Structure 1
């Protein structure tokens, strides 16, 4: 990209705070390289919503807001906690330390201390549970001077029963966080994060980036609720409890509109059981019906929800297809990275987060691929409510085979894959799990994706598995998944070096394509010179919005041809928004410009669905073309 003198001057004058050593201990939003309309309205009471909608308790207290923060020198600092000290900086929780919204906007925040205090409501007479939505990457939790818990994994929620550590007044909460990202020889699940951002790899997220809250629960309480409700009305349930014994538990399914119970059943905790709801309304992108759920286990009463739907695969007119509720519909969505210029991994608020999903629905998409990141529980709830299928990636290890995991690192990857599936498997919108993206961290010898696919299917037999999306495909899983830019190669008799030949025994799928870029003015760009310099690495640059929409129409028409002629069952367009040095989003990174010609895109997307419907009743097939 060529920059004129005025833009160069603007670049020089738009200074960005970049480290935590500014000496400003009071919280203020830092000036990010790019803002959104929510940047300066997020406030200091972020994410007030109950954070875990599938296991909700009535007695809870949000601990989000202004905490204290201080950097630490190394890992050994955890052995010398700064109890009863005032840490040097105020910080917003939840947020990424590297983000402007945190008030820190740090670099290389590998070791960190966080502190706050809380009181327990006097009316609570049960145990007190301390909950964290996600901390990246390792967290040691201290309560009133006691080491209460250790957690590893930057994308997953965890709970600590802190009852025995509490006092009657103020309670000190201190958290030590170690986030190595891709430093040294660490090989951990990091997705697109890197300490050295460049083009398709982005600014990392360290610290407490999802909500923190306390709640009241009896000593023996529900710790996990697995719900899988299918198209026939069968509800498979397991209610896991803290003491792991078998005691009576009651589950009720409630019509969300009328508030009336449509079924209830008594079973035993920590053992699977099932029951049937007669003629339920099914969940689909066109009709995302949800039912409320009440779980009663002794004194513990949980509010939850579910949707009735079945995900499977089957042969339709000689082609292996993904099926939703027994029917083939074309799956079409975007590569959804979930990055924000002001909050990085953490959206400024729920309104901002939902805006992306609503934009996709408005254009006619019925799916998104959550790309090597795990979102908040409220994100999946929004997809459930709005009717957007989710293909969920496991966050990747280091990319492009740069450093492969050793045995211990591979075991940790597998453990976190299990956590991912177990934590998210009750959301109706999730239809597929992705294990490996483009060979990132994928061991080539021994083909571990076969055993990992079996593991995922054992943990969750209700969904499909895309074992290797792009690149090193040896035949595992339900999808024959091609990545190709810019034009698609979906279930076709032609392919390129970046993917394997189409396997007709599996679902033909275009895991990534498109990726065409359109540069914009500096006011909508991530104002970082290294990122700006990388823009021309985009697969294709279209100089005007009109030419970008023309090229989009051409590529979507090519995808439609592959539905009609070959074995294409779904596709993922790159991508929902621009991210840092990438300018290939439907939306710019600040969400202020929507590039799409709405009428054209809605027609082109509907044409994909129509072609898939017509194909099922057509005599045209790959075999009739001699393929």
Structure 2
């Protein structure tokens, strides 16, 4: 099957225009070249200087757009106060590739402690856009971005994982070049900041990795009329009903037309006339449903006045219900066993940024080949193109909220050691960014579950914020399940069940209550056995093995992250198998244990750790450079299929009353 994006001819033409109008290269800056990273991938030197030419936002596409990806210039800044003295009309000291992490080899910098940065380019607006608004879009900037256009402060954005748009029309020169200058502040885990960072740290060690600073997702401009579509929200259910809201830049309601198009025939199968800024509901007859086995997508065309955008959706319903006496996750009213990997989304050459789309899709294709139908996107948010690829392939996604500072402590003046947790303002900011996550991600059919907290990282325990946060997520998106606390501190919130997590980080053993089970290496999934000082499985919620496996197999230096501090932590891996044969044997035995728990108990899903090695971790299905695939493919395909078959056998032809599904 071919998984490449379906890009209309008009967008392909605009990609060519983008290349011809690529951002300028400075004449007096240190010239761009890939810095050799500690480990390369097959795509490291294929990224080029016109990276990520695809339209970056496939669920709200406009035909008139121009990529600003390419060679920008960079200069280190000394402090946060530097934002008050922008280097207008100056040549910054180094060329840099955008998008990229400033710490990566692909950036051309491979920087360290890039906490304050200036990034600059210039662009010209096509004359054919005259009379329209020009929108400047950023896929993501880590962590705070202050944007200047031609010497004017255009916007400020906080949050390293989320897209933002600003109308820059009033700042533009109608003829000639426009200067774009971005000040980036990324404190990561420096004091006193407690912000969403996932697994980034300024001091990498074993399960915490090199950080990503700067503009790490695509930048582009596009043309829109004076009253334009700012947001499209679509939820399409298994019954063919669509709930849609078309938000516009105008305050008043305006006429909107929505057309639903069958991708296979290119025929319009439904239209609806409504108004902007209010939810509308309509039905599409005889829809083909979206599922991992049949990931059918429908294209969407939306018209508001002179603004026309394209999007897509998939018809499916996510719910939960009692099936033969066991609480189960349901897709389209049916229980299917959800089995995937913990997917970190790190790259040795790009850190947070895959070298190109082919590299990104390679990981996903590998999971599909082995038989996985799901992945847990682990405390990171990817580009929209990633979720589009999962939508097209039929990969279910458990989407984590990026964690606050994890497992870090302060020593007080009285020598008391305390865990670093958010204060009231930092908790409010975490809540705001959780809301951004849900609003940004809720259109993707592949996302089935949101995870609020991972292993207690940044989770306050003097009160129980996960209850309120779960309510917020459910209010913003009532069409998904919520795993409120994946690992450790569970107090009963959310859709997934409680029992033990035992996690061994180095020589330190932590045992806590957990909402879904993280247990290395063997599983304890919906079972009547659990670990010390923990709670048993709660049959009123869904039982899932949130993390397990984690078995490692060391490799030769050419496939390792060649940083001595990382190599020194390899033996902290949960289990090391000295040969690939032993690794596959252990994988087979652990999957066999999970199979028994599917057959005998209440296990509804599992997440194997992990897709790839990362820096000092060697427990991936793939090595970090993506050059070695550890699994015996036939063995793993058979073991994974056995899980699905066993789960299916637990479901009788007729479901008992009360199992039709609920959220």
The answer to whether structure 1 residue 158 and structure 2 residue 193 are counterparts is no
Report what 2:450 is aligned to.
433
Q: Could you tell me how far 1:500 is from its partner in structure 2?
A: 3.8
Specify which of 441, 447, 450 is matched with residue 464 of structure 2.
Answer: 447
- Per the normalisation by structure 2, the TM-score is 0.89
Q: Could you tell me how far 1:400 is from its partner in structure 2?
A: 2.7
Preserved contact between residue 39 and residue 562 of structure 2 (Cα < 8 Å) = yes
Report what 1:595 is aligned to.
630
Of 499-508 and 60-69, deviating more is: 499-508
Q: Which SS does the other structure have where 2:112 is aligned?
A: coil
Preserved contact between residue 261 and residue 267 of structure 2 (Cα < 8 Å) = yes
Q: Residues 499 and 33 from structure 1, CA distance in 2 versus in 1: closer, same or farther, beyond 3 angstroms? A: farther
C-alpha separation between the residues in 1 aligned to 2:343 and 2:128?
43
C-alpha separation between the residues in 2 aligned to 1:300 and 1:234?
25
The answer to whether structure 1 residue 568 and structure 2 residue 568 are counterparts is no
| 1:117-155 deviations in Å (ceiling 9; x for gaps) | 000011113100000000000000000000000000000
| 1:277-331 deviations in Å (ceiling 9; x for gaps) | 0010000000000000000001110000000000000000000000000000000
The answer to whether structure 1 residue 204 and structure 2 residue 211 are counterparts is yes
Report what 1:120 is aligned to.
125
Report what 1:96 is aligned to.
101
C-alpha separation between the residues in 2 aligned to 1:255 and 1:515?
42
Specify which of 287, 291, 303 is matched with residue 296 of structure 1.
Answer: 303
Q: Which SS does the other structure have where 1:436 is aligned?
A: strand
Q: Which SS does the other structure have where 1:479 is aligned?
A: coil
Report what 2:571 is aligned to.
536
Q: Which SS does the other structure have where 1:245 is aligned?
A: coil
Preserved contact between residue 471 and residue 498 of structure 1 (Cα < 8 Å) = no
The answer to whether structure 1 residue 142 and structure 2 residue 148 are counterparts is yes
Preserved contact between residue 189 and residue 398 of structure 1 (Cα < 8 Å) = yes
C-alpha separation between the residues in 1 aligned to 2:165 and 2:629?
40
| 1:485-534 deviations in Å (ceiling 9; x for gaps) | 00001011122258642111000011000000000000000000000000
The answer to whether structure 1 residue 511 and structure 2 residue 546 are counterparts is yes
Preserved contact between residue 400 and residue 438 of structure 1 (Cα < 8 Å) = no
Specify which of 85, 92, 111 is matched with residue 90 of structure 2.
Answer: 85
**Structure 2 residues not aligned, in runs of 5+:** 1-27, 409-418, 498-515, 655-663
Q: Which SS does the other structure have where 1:40 is aligned?
A: helix
Q: Which SS does the other structure have where 2:46 is aligned?
A: coil
The two structures, once aligned, show a CA RMSD in angstroms of: 1.2
Specify which of 57, 70, 74 is matched with residue 69 of structure 1.
Answer: 74
Specify which of 245, 252, 255 is matched with residue 262 of structure 2.
Answer: 255
C-alpha separation between the residues in 2 aligned to 1:41 and 1:271?
45
Report what 2:505 is aligned to.
none
Preserved contact between residue 98 and residue 107 of structure 2 (Cα < 8 Å) = yes
C-alpha separation between the residues in 2 aligned to 1:56 and 1:306?
13
Specify which of 55, 58, 61 is matched with residue 56 of structure 1.
Answer: 61
C-alpha separation between the residues in 2 aligned to 1:24 and 1:515?
45
Report what 2:614 is aligned to.
579
Q: How many residues align?
A: 597
Q: Residues 75 and 384 from structure 1, CA distance in 2 versus in 1: closer, same or farther, beyond 3 angstroms? A: same
C-alpha separation between the residues in 1 aligned to 2:471 and 2:535?
21
Report what 2:342 is aligned to.
335
Report what 1:418 is aligned to.
435
Preserved contact between residue 311 and residue 463 of structure 1 (Cα < 8 Å) = yes
C-alpha separation between the residues in 2 aligned to 1:245 and 1:57?
22
Preserved contact between residue 142 and residue 175 of structure 1 (Cα < 8 Å) = yes
Report what 2:594 is aligned to.
559
Preserved contact between residue 470 and residue 499 of structure 1 (Cα < 8 Å) = no
Q: Which SS does the other structure have where 1:466 is aligned?
A: strand
Preserved contact between residue 29 and residue 73 of structure 2 (Cα < 8 Å) = no
C-alpha separation between the residues in 1 aligned to 2:602 and 2:452?
23
Preserved contact between residue 132 and residue 157 of structure 1 (Cα < 8 Å) = yes
Q: How does 1:16-415 map to 2 (within 5 A)?
A: 25-125=30-130, 126-167=132-173, 168-400=175-407, 402-415=419-432
Q: Could you tell me how far 1:24 is from its partner in structure 2?
A: 7.8
**Structure 1 residues not aligned, in runs of 5+:** 1-22, 620-627
- The runs of at least 4 consecutive aligned structure 1 residues that moved more than 4 Å come to none
C-alpha separation between the residues in 2 aligned to 1:518 and 1:222?
51
The answer to whether structure 1 residue 494 and structure 2 residue 546 are counterparts is no
Q: Residues 498 and 417 from structure 1, CA distance in 2 versus in 1: closer, same or farther, beyond 3 angstroms? A: farther
Q: Could you tell me how far 1:242 is from its partner in structure 2?
A: 1.5
C-alpha separation between the residues in 1 aligned to 2:540 and 2:403?
27
